[in-house]
Structure 1
Amino acid sequence: MSYTGARAILYMSLLVIIFPTHSYGAGVGGAGAGLALNGDKHHRNVEHRGRHHHNQQQQHGNQNLEDATQLTTTPSGELEDRREDFDNACCSRQEKYVAIGFGVSGEVVQLDVGQCQKSCRSLFTLMDPDITDSDISPFKPCAAEAACLPSKSRLQRVSTLHGMQQLAVVEECECRHKPERCYRQPHTLQLYPGTPYETHLDVGICSGRCQSEAGCRPVRNKTVSVPGPNGVHCHSVIEECTCTGGCYRMSSLEIVYDYTDLVLNDTETSPAIKEVDVGRCSGTCTGGQTRKCLFRDQADPNKCLAGLYGKQSSCTPSHFKVHRYTSKDRQAKEIIAITDCKCM
């Protein structure tokens, strides 16, 4: 028997001796019941004070438990404010499953691609015994004005009925100060993990502040060839970022060899190397009517002679520019460059 319990029983015995049952009047049965009720209530109060004293000792020994206890005793409004402050204080990787196809048995194949969020769920594990630290990924401090962004990813290959699918899986997240302007930040992509060809490539990421409805998006990429177990593969690397709308033009370079200035009987055979930014449209559109041009006027590529109309909008080239050059066999060639994109 604990010291607190023995002390409570001794105190009750003294009460029975000092205050006999007949002093309460109204008969022996009713008085005895009243005394037993009062004694039991006092016993619970004594135990409550003992537990409260024990909890105070634990709180002084464990600061994290003290914080959790304060959260449980805080009014609902203050609790939500404090929880929001904690949620904005940490940057961690959270699960995000996406369907990528079907397996051989017809089941949907899902992959945890991950996502970065400001969250401090580890601070609340003391409040929920069902949550353990092993179930929650490590978190890092993150200021309120900072952005929680992926710092490291890997390219995962998954086999489905539609063939091999490649997806970028977020592995690590970190807090980065959100700059006042939009620019490129480093982002490491792990290629061919678990193979002798395993390597890392900085593919970049766009981050920064933009006004109105514009977003910080990539506008110029380059292609890098990386050898792997199944041959050489090309990977896109972000070179430049800027603030732009949902539908925008991206730079795409095309190299052509122009023989226009060469004389037929000249010994000089080196053509002029021209770099043409043919561009491409990227982004998404919402609502509106769409038009897909099937046949354009050769004299004026901006003029559409035949097209299809639909309800689903898409980011489509709206203006063009024609670049002309001469091939090695003296044939006149032309290449069309996209100069602007619109939701059509």
Structure 2
Amino acid sequence: MDGPPPLLLLLCLLHFSHNRNLFTQRMCCKRQSHFVYIGQDISGSPVSVDVGVCRSHCGRTRTGPSPEAGQEDYSKHTSMLEFLRSKKTRMRRPAAPSGLEPPNQLPSCGASQVCEPAGMRVERVLLFEGPRQVEVIQECQCEIKLTQCMRVPALRTYYAKTPYETVIDAGGCSRSKGPPEGFSCVPTKFDSALIQTPNKVELIQTVLACELKESCSRVKHVDYYYQTVQHADGVAEKRLKEIDVGRCVGSCTAGKRCLLRSPTNPEICYLWSEGQSSSCVPQDYESHSFQDQQGQTRTVLSITSCSCQS
């Protein structure tokens, strides 16, 4: 019996190689644990959340303790100082020889792709100072690396695993950077979406468009007000007044750093510190005065410029 034609054999080999590469990408671009300390709960106990991180490298085996183990150890201590002292004592043990570490391998997503979150869920955590929303990565996948500034889909799941579970495309901006130093792809147009919650209807802000701007900059944001205009003949006319109140968008360096790393794998961080916060806030403003529907003088402030401040 004759064997398969050479062309058919070549196609089978190509199909097998393609499927193997896809399998490798999906297995290597995956979510890994990444715990972040967010504060204390109403009982005073420390609260850390596994927000996750997308890793795109293959072949690296974890020889030290897992982040989950570090999280369990941390929850047993009453203060962060006690936790760090305990970890410092454990880190004095001799580390494994560097020769046992497997060699680094190439990224699984390829040169034209990046390992990005494929879905996020928004968790609500009740802290001592009040409720807080935390975005948690659900899964990761290889995405095409964008070189232009544009709006990209960003799925957010609210009230997951409840009767009120809702998935919204909140939108985001690509991570492309502009040629001038200090420019970033930031949102410039916004919209809103309504979701049903156990207590009330909640308004969620979504991103409509993005532009390449300075990392901290002002964008247009219009609000409408009712204005009463008094004419010379004594007739009062009601008009709709439009004011560009502005909005500050962009990011500022927050000084985030790792407080405690794995003694055997420096890429693993057990505890992060947010450091001194720096946010993009209004720097200059101007006032707009007018008469409202009741004839009372109302003053609205609008942002004219923004800057990074601690």
What SS does the aligned partner of 2:241 have? Answer: strand
| 1:290 corresponds to | none
| 2:298 corresponds to | 333
- TM-score, normalised by the number of residues in structure 2: 0.60
Q: Gapped runs of 5+ residues in structure 2?
A: 1-15, 17-23, 67-106, 256-275
| 2:212 corresponds to | 243
| Equivalent residue in structure 1 for 2:200, among 231, 245, 259 | 231
Question: Once the 2 structures are TM-superposed, how far is the Cα of residue 119 of structure 1 from its aligned partner?
Answer: 2.5
Superposed CA RMSD: 3.8
| 2:188 corresponds to | 219
| Equivalent residue in structure 2 for 1:102, among 32, 40, 43 | 40
- TM-score, normalised by the number of residues in structure 1: 0.55
Aligned residues: 225
Q: Gapped runs of 5+ residues in structure 1?
A: 1-62, 64-85, 132-139, 288-310
The percent identity for this pair of structures is: 32
Matched-pair contact (CA < 8 Å) for 1:151–1:172: yes
For residues 173-188 of structure 1, the aligned pairs below 5 Å read: 173-188=140-155
What SS does the aligned partner of 1:144 have? Answer: coil
CA spacing shift, 1:333–1:163, aligned 2, 3 Å: closer
For residues 58-207 of structure 1, the aligned pairs below 5 Å read: 90-121=28-59, 142-207=109-174
Matched-pair contact (CA < 8 Å) for 1:285–1:315: no
| 1:8 corresponds to | none
Asked if 1:254 is matched to 2:258, the reply is no
Asked if 1:284 is matched to 2:252, the reply is yes
CA–CA separation in structure 1 for the residues paired with 2:54 and 2:144: 15
CA–CA separation in structure 2 for the residues paired with 1:195 and 1:312: 34
| Equivalent residue in structure 2 for 1:274, among 241, 258, 261 | 241
- Amino acid aligned to 2:130: G
Larger RCO: Structure 1 or Structure 2 (Cα < 8 Å, ≥ 6 residues apart)?
Answer: 2
Matched-pair contact (CA < 8 Å) for 2:43–2:128: no
The superposition leaves residues 187-228 of structure 1 with CA deviations (integer Å, 9 ceiling, x where unpaired) of 111111122111111101110422233222223323333221
CA–CA separation in structure 2 for the residues paired with 1:209 and 1:262: 53
Question: Once the 2 structures are TM-superposed, how far is the Cα of residue 120 of structure 1 from its aligned partner?
Answer: 2.5
Question: Once the 2 structures are TM-superposed, how far is the Cα of residue 179 of structure 1 from its aligned partner?
Answer: 2.5
Matched-pair contact (CA < 8 Å) for 2:29–2:140: yes
Matched-pair contact (CA < 8 Å) for 2:280–2:306: yes
Which of the pair is proportionally richer in helix?
Answer: 1
Runs of 4+ in 1 over 6 A off after TM superposition: 261-265
Matched-pair contact (CA < 8 Å) for 1:152–1:172: yes
CA–CA separation in structure 2 for the residues paired with 1:120 and 1:241: 33
Question: Once the 2 structures are TM-superposed, how far is the Cα of residue 141 of structure 1 from its aligned partner?
Answer: 5.7
The superposition leaves residues 277-325 of structure 1 with CA deviations (integer Å, 9 ceiling, x where unpaired) of 31232432579xxxxxxxxxxxxxxxxxxxxxxx996534233344343
